[in-house]
Structure 1
Amino acid sequence: MVKIPPAYKNKEEYVHAIFSSIAHRYDLLNTVLSFNRDKYWRRFAVGQTGLKAGGYGLDVCCGTGMLAIELARAAGPEGRVVGVDFCRNMLERARENIGRTPYGDRIQLVEGNAVNLPFADNTFDCATIGFALRNVPDIRRTIQEMARVVRPGGRVVSLELSKPGAPLFKQLYYLYFDHLVPLLGRLGIGFDGPYSYLPNSLKDFPHQREIRDLFAAVGLAGARYYELTGGIVTVHVGTVV
C-alpha cells in the first residue's frame, strides 16, 4: 500500500507534490523507462478513441500534454482538444511541448480536477486518461466524470500501467520496476521519492479485469481492454450510451 508521508493530508496532495517536482524531467524519464515504447502506447490509445477529423477530444490528467498532442493529430486542423490537469507545473510543461508542435491553436489547457471535471455533460467526442488513473483519489468517480462529459456514442479510454500475467516475464518486470526504476528515477531528477512511489502505486492499483468491470459498472458499453508489451500497460475502452 502507498504510504502517504505525514507532511501531506491525503493522496491527492501527495500526488500533486510528486508531479510538481518531476514535471521538468517527466517526458525524458517516460521515454527512457519505457524503452521508448510510450509513443506507441499513446498512438494505440488514441486509435481506440474513434476520434475523427474535426472531432472534439478531452485528455484528463493531461500532464505534459503528450497524449493531448496525439489527440490533436487525430482530430486534424478542424478539430479541437482540451487537456485538463490539477498540477500547474505539468501544465506549464504541456504548454512548452504543445508550442513546439503545429497544434497550438487547437489544444486548450485547463486547470481542473479529474473527480470534478469543469465541463458540461455531453461535451466531447471522447475522453482519455494516460498513466494517471492509478493516481486519482477515486477511480470510479473519475471514470464516471469522463463518461458524463462525453456524448452518447463517444468513447472513454484509459492508458495505464498494469500487471503482466506470464510468470517469468512478470518476475523480470517487477525486478526492473521495483529496483531499477527508482534508481534511474533518482539519477534523472536528483532525489529520492517520486520514482519509488511509482511501483507502489501499481501494486495498489486494481487488475485490468477489475478496471474493465468498473467501466461496465458505471454504464459504459462494450467495456474491454488491450494488454500491450506483454501486459505492462493496458488500454481500457468503453462507449457512452
Structure 2
Amino acid sequence: MFALPNKDNKEKFVRDMFNSIARRYDLMNTLMTFGMDKSWRKLAVRRAELENGGQGLDICCGTGMLSMEQARAAGSSGKVTGLDFSENMLAVARKNIQGFQLNNIIEFMQGNAMELPFPDNTFDCATVGWGLRNVPDILTVVKEMNRVVKPGGKVVSLDMAQPTAPVFKQAYWLFFDKVIPAMGKLWGGNKGAYDYLHDSAKIFPPQWELVEIFRKAGLVETGYKNLAGGVVALVEGRKPNQ
C-alpha cells in the first residue's frame, strides 16, 4: 500500500512529485475527468466574480489552466498572478500561455501557498484548483487566501469531493480505486505519483467539512456546489466587508 507523506515532509514530497509529472499532467487531468475539467474551471471563475479589469490570484496554479480562465474574465486591462512551488509545473504553464491572446496579463511565480508573498487586500479574488489536498495545512492556506483578497472578494476552491447518492457512490469509488491508478501507471509515467493523487483524494475533507474550514478562516457566505454528482465540488466564501 502506498504510504502518504506526513505533515512534516509533505511539502517536499508534493513538490518533487509534481515536478516529475508536470509534462503529462494536463493530459491525465483531461482523461481522468472525461474532459469536464474545462467547464469546471469556467464555473469556478464565474463563482469567483472576477470582473473585467480586475486582479486575480490563482494559487497552486500548476500548468496555468485556471489562471488562463481568470485572464479571460479579467480581460486585457486586468492582471492575473499564478503561484506554484513546482518549477516544472510553472515551466509548463509558461509554455501553455505562449500564443494565448491574454498572456501579457498573466504572471507566474514560484512561491509557497502557506505563506503568500503578497500584501493584505491585494486581489479581487483567489482561486485554487485541485491544490488544497496537497498542502500541509488547509486552514493556514485558506486564511492566507482570505488575507490577500480585498474586502468583499471571493475565495474559491475546485477539488475532488465525495458523492453521496448510494448506488453512484459505490460505482464511483470502484472506478476510482481500480481505473484511476491504472491510468496513471499507463499514461502518467509515474505510478507512485498517481497512487498519491488517488490516496490523497480519498482522505481529503468532504465538501461540507471544507466549508467549515472556510468559515474558520474568517470567510462568510460560505457554501459548496457539487459537480458530476459530487465527484468534484466548488467550495467558496467571501471576505467580509470591513
TM-score scaled by structure 2? Answer: 0.96
Native 8 Å contact 1:2 1:204 kept in 2: no
Q: Distance in 2 between matches of 1:2 and 1:158?
A: 26
The residue aligned with 2:182 is 183
Equivalent residue number for residue 50 of structure 1:
49
- How far did residue 9 of structure 1 move? 6.2
CA distance in 1: counterparts of 2:218 and 2:88, whole angstroms: 34
What is the CA–CA distance in structure 2 between the aligned matches of 1:183 and 1:42, rounded to whole Å?
25
Q: Tell me, which stretches of 5 or more residues in structure 1 are unaligned?
A: none
Contact 2:83 2:108 in 1 (8 A): yes
Aligned ranges 1:18-167 → 2 under 5 Å: 18-167=17-166
Q: Secondary structure at the match of 1:193?
A: helix
- Alpha-carbon distance, 1:223 to partner: 0.5
Unaligned runs of 5+ in 2: none
Q: Deviations over 1:64-87 (max 9, x none)?
A: 000000000000110100000000
Aligned with 1:122: secondary structure? coil
Partners of 2:26 and 2:101 in 1: CA distance: 19
Letter of the 1:41 counterpart: W
1:3 aligns with 2:29: no
1:226 equivalenced with 2:240 (yes/no): no
RMSD over aligned Cα atoms: 1.6
- Structure 1 counterpart of 2:37, one-letter code: D
**Pairwise CA distance, 1:16:** 1.0
SS in 1 for 2:43: helix
- The 1:170–1:100 alpha-carbon spacing in structure 2 relative to 1, beyond 3 Å, is farther
Percent of pairs with identical residues: 51
TM-score of the two chains, using structure 1 as the length reference: 0.96
The residue identity in structure 1 corresponding to 2:63 is T
CA shift, 1:56, in A, is 0.1
Q: Secondary structure at the match of 1:57?
A: strand
Evaluate the alpha carbon distance shift between residue 100 and residue 217 of structure 1 in structure 2; reply closer, same or farther with a 3 A threshold.
same
Code of the residue aligned with 1:112 in structure 2: it is: G
2:3 maps to a residue whose letter is K
SS class of match (1:48): helix
The aligned amino acid for 1:98 is: I
Which letter does structure 1 place at the counterpart of 2:25?
Y
Give yes or no for contact 1:4–1:10 (8 Å, CA) kept in 2.
Answer: no
> How many Å separate the matches in 1 of 2:39 and 2:222?
22
Q: Aligned AA for 1:18? A: M
Separation of aligned partners in 1, 2:209 and 2:169: 19
How far is 1:11 from its partner? 1.1
Can you list the C-alpha shifts for 1:81-139, whole angstroms capped at 9, x where unaligned? 00000000000000011113112100001110000001000000000000011110010
